């Protein structure tokens, strides 16, 4: 008989209450969680085709023949996902060479360089330099977007390739999301309901630990019994340069969100005033309130420790900021290897007598080989193109570490990294340039700093100035908000000038925004080299985006999104997303293009995001100047405001809405978020300061003005 837990009792109490109040939708979910819902309980059939290894299918003519002659060829039925894999049309089932089967995700694929330059190519070239070109091969089965389930399935299928060693370079995509089965969602919801975000996070980490242990055990069962050595490569994160876009604290179980907001404002001011001891004191108070679950608190402390020269403490908080993303189902967070994943993997692998290649340790030794022991450099842009995808230097270091292990395994010889890196495949200047160009786009679209984005633009031009025209063509086609990239006439020129790598990225890019940070960085880098890109961009923007008599909808994500993580469609859906813009920050910024010879009319329909008895003022600013103050309450209010021509820039302008923070207690909101999670909706874990139903701008009518 199943054990009756406190969670079961709580659900039963809620079930009785809902039966009384006829809340049928949530009632069905509780019945399912308690195992009381009738329905088909027959196990689902496994539809996996055992004659596949990823996109490679056992050739038809080989199915009836012996293993010695078998080969796997790319399956035309899976052609739509071929670009996510190695561009290898055929894999022999058996070879006389020593064979490493190499599994992984986009970092292992060489994202932003692939297919022109990949880690598997580099690993193979290093090994062949030692053993001979005809003596060893690396079968590249890494797949972009591979998750833990994909790795598990590939590991099982790859046994058919009879490898001499298995390498698994993965972990960035391991996590627990909202798309889970009902019992697991119920467990997560119980943690959220009873202990807030901390309880929610603990349940997520517990689930993740179990999944990783199961994967390691499965791999050991598949390969250990045949004495095939397995190496797990633990990814590193770009701690030095990457910063997740700032967010406020989630609803706190203590009900002290307002206090946290006030401390945040004071700590930020103290940082700006270089009062680092005071900032540390305030940030530590924030840490107590948010229970170490908010990345912005860790970033504040990391900045303090940087100023104080405390590199190790800085690293601890940068890693903690990285880990804090694991519970946030509301935003799209960049992939990363969480500490819980890394620690679980290392512990479990040691029990199974497999091997770990710890890239955080490898990179630390590499970066600090010639440094003062106190300096302790952190991994940054020299080894990474973004959050987790490696630069060509990072690829060489990582693959040299893997090669060193296998040379020792097979030949008993020990090599340092630098000599092996010198044996690796070189990257062309064009591929390096294009990789840095894509890195600039990718970093900008994930909300990174203007300085970092401009660095990648400058590096792209330094490697190959031919990328300059590509940059300008990209700005031209990306400036049109109403058409996808492939529909622009200028796209034909782009297609003719770029490699398959650029074509694949640019013409599959779904996120589109005003791109002020990116285009400012590109024009700055171009103009430093004497290319007058600024005027060309201004003319393109005025031609395509200038505000006219027809209203420009600033709630279109094109005008307000600055990163993938903060894009809001505002269209509403069955998953609980409302049909209006939600202000999760105290200030929201909207970009638009205008000339400065005519007044504009701004129409806003807004309300507060929390239900308060009194109204609060909302300030509206145009290019930093206050143009209106609206008293907002719990009901929608519409107001039209004139933006005088003298306040406008010729070109890009910024409208800012500044909300006032006055947050109520949070307990009910945490319960509502838990209920939403059980209904397979995204839980609303953050306070909303305001809502916008309409925000549009148009030219003022000249006749009426006169």
Higher pLDDT pick, 306 / 483: 306
Higher pLDDT pick, 254 / 334: 334
Higher pLDDT pick, 397 / 706: 397
Question: What percentage of the chain's residues is helix, strand, coil (to nearest 5)?
Answer: 50, 15, 40
Distance CA(445)–CA(562), nearest Å, equals: 7
Higher pLDDT pick, 184 / 164: 164
Instruction: Kindly report, residue by residue over 634-679, the tens digit of the pLDDT.
Output: 999 999 999 999 999 999 999 999 999 888 776 788 999 999 999 9
Distance CA(300)–CA(527), nearest Å, equals: 34
Instruction: Kindly report, residue by residue over 589-639, the tens digit of the pLDDT.
Output: 999 999 999 999 999 999 998 877 789 999 999 999 999 999 999 999 999
- pLDDT of 576 > 60? The answer is no
- What pLDDT is recorded for position 704? 45
For residue 376, give the 3-state DSSP assignment: coil
- What pLDDT is recorded for position 389? 98
Cβ(534)–Cβ(467) below 8 Å: no
- How confident is the prediction for the chain on average, in pLDDT? 88
Q: Which residue has the tokens 């638009």?
A: 592
- What pLDDT is recorded for position 467? 95
Query: In angstroms, what CA-CA distances link 15 with 8, 176, 412?
Result: 10, 26, 65
Distance CA(456)–CA(385), nearest Å, equals: 8
In degrees, to the nearest 5, what angle opens at C-alpha 323 toward C-alphas 518 and 179?
Answer: 85
- What pLDDT is recorded for position 353? 80
- What pLDDT is recorded for position 38? 45
Cβ(547)–Cβ(590) below 8 Å: no
Distance CA(385)–CA(73), nearest Å, equals: 32
Instruction: Kindly report, residue by residue over 124-146, the tens digit of the pLDDT.
Output: 999 999 999 999 999 999 999 99
Q: How confident is the model at residue 25 (pLDDT cuts 50, 70, 90)?
A: very low
Q: Which of 32-46, 161-175, 409-423 has the lowest mean pLDDT?
A: 32-46
For residue 608, give the 3-state DSSP assignment: strand
Query: Looking at residues 267-277, what average pLDDT do you find?
Result: 97
- What pLDDT is recorded for position 573? 43
Q: Which residue has the tokens 């996070």?
A: 201
Cis omega (within 30 of 0) for bond into 115:
yes
Q: How confident is the model at residue 225 (pLDDT cuts 50, 70, 90)?
A: confident
State pTM to two decimals: 0.90
Instruction: Kindly report, residue by residue over 412-449, the tens digit of the pLDDT.
Output: 999 999 999 999 999 999 999 999 999 999 999 999 99
């Amino acid at each position: 008989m199943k054990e009756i837990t406190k969670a079961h009792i709580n659900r039963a109490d809620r079930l009785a209450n809902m039966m009384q109040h006829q809340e049928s939708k949530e009632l069905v979910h509780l019945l399912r969680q308690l195992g009381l819902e009738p329905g088909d309980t027959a196990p689902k059939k496994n539809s996996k085709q055992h004659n596949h290894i990823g996109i490679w299918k056992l050739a038809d003519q080989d199915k009836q023949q012996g293993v010695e002659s078998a080969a796997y060829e790319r399956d035309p039925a899976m052609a739509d996902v071929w670009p996510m894999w190695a561009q290898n049309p055929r894999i022999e089932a058996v070879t006389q060479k020593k064979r490493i089967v190499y599994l992984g995700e986009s970092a292992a694929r060489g994202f932003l360089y692939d297919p022109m330059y990949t880690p598997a190519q580099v690993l193979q070239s290093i090994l062949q330099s030692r053993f001979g070109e005809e003596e060893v091969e690396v079968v590249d089965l890494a797949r972009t977007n591979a998750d833990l389930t994909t790795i598990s399935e590939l590991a099982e299928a790859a046994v058919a390739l009879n490898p001499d060693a298995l390498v698994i370079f993965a972990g960035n995509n391991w996590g627990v999301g909202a798309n889970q089965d009902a019992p697991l969602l119920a467990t997560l919801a119980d943690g959220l309901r009873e202990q807030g975000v901390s309880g929610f996070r603990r349940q997520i980490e517990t689930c993740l630990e179990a999944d990783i242990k199961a994967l390691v055990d499965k791999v050991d069962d598949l390969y250990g019994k045949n004495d095939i050595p397995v190496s797990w490569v633990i990814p590193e994160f770009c701690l030095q340069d990457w910063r997740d876009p700032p967010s406020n604290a989630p609803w706190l179980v203590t009900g002290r969100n307002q206090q946290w907001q006030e401390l945040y404002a004071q700590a930020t001011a103290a940082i700006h005033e270089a009062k680092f001891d005071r900032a540390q004191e305030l940030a530590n108070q924030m840490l107590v309130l948010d229970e170490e679950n908010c990345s912005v608190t860790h970033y504040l402390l990391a900045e303090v420790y940087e100023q104080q020269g405390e590199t190790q403490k800085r690293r601890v908080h940068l890693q903690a900021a990285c880990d804090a993303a694991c519970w946030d189902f509301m935003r799209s967070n960049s992939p990363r290897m969480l500490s819980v994943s890394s620690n679980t993997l290392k512990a479990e692998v040691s029990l199974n007598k497999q091997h770990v290649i710890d890239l955080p340790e490898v990179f630390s030794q590499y970066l600090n080989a010639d440094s003062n022991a106190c300096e302790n450099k952190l991994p940054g842009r020299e080894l990474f193109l973004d959050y987790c995808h490696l630069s060509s230097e990072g690829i060489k270091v990582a693959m040299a570490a893997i090669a060193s292990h296998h040379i020792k395994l097979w030949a008993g010889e020990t090599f340092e990294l630098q000599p092996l890196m010198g044996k690796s495949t070189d990257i062309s200047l064009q591929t390096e340039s294009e990789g840095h160009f894509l890195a600039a786009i990718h970093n900008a679209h994930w909300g990174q700093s203007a300085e970092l984005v401009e660095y990648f633009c400058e590096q792209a031009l330094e490697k190959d100035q031919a990328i300059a025209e590509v940059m300008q063509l990209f700005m031209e086609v990306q400036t049109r908000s109403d058409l996808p990239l492939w529909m622009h006439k200028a796209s034909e020129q782009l297609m003719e000038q770029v490699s398959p790598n650029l074509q694949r990225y640019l013409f599959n890019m779904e996120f589109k925004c005003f791109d002020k940070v990116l285009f400012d960085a590109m024009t700055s880098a171009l103009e430093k080299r004497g290319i007058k890109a600024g005027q060309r961009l201004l003319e393109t923007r005025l031609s395509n985006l200038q505000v006219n008599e027809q209203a420009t909808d600033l709630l279109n994500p094109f005008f307000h999104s600055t990163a993938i993580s903060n894009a809001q469609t505002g269209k509403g859906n069955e998953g609980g997303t409302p049909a209006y813009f939600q202000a999760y920050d105290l200030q929201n910024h909207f970009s638009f293009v205008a000339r400065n010879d005519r007044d504009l009319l701004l129409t806003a329909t807004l309300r507060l995001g929390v239900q308060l008895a009194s109204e609060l003022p909302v300030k509206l600013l145009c290019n930093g100047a206050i143009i209106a103050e609206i008293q907002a309450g719990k009901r929608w209010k519409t107001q039209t405001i004139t933006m005088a021509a003298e306040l406008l820039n010729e070109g890009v302008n910024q409208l800012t809405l500044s909300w006032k923070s006055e947050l109520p207690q949070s307990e009910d909101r945490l319960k509502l978020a838990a209920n939403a999670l059980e209904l397979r909706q995204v839980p609303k874990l953050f306070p909303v300061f305001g809502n916008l139903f309409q925000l549009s701008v148009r030219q003022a009518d000249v006749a009426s003005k006169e």
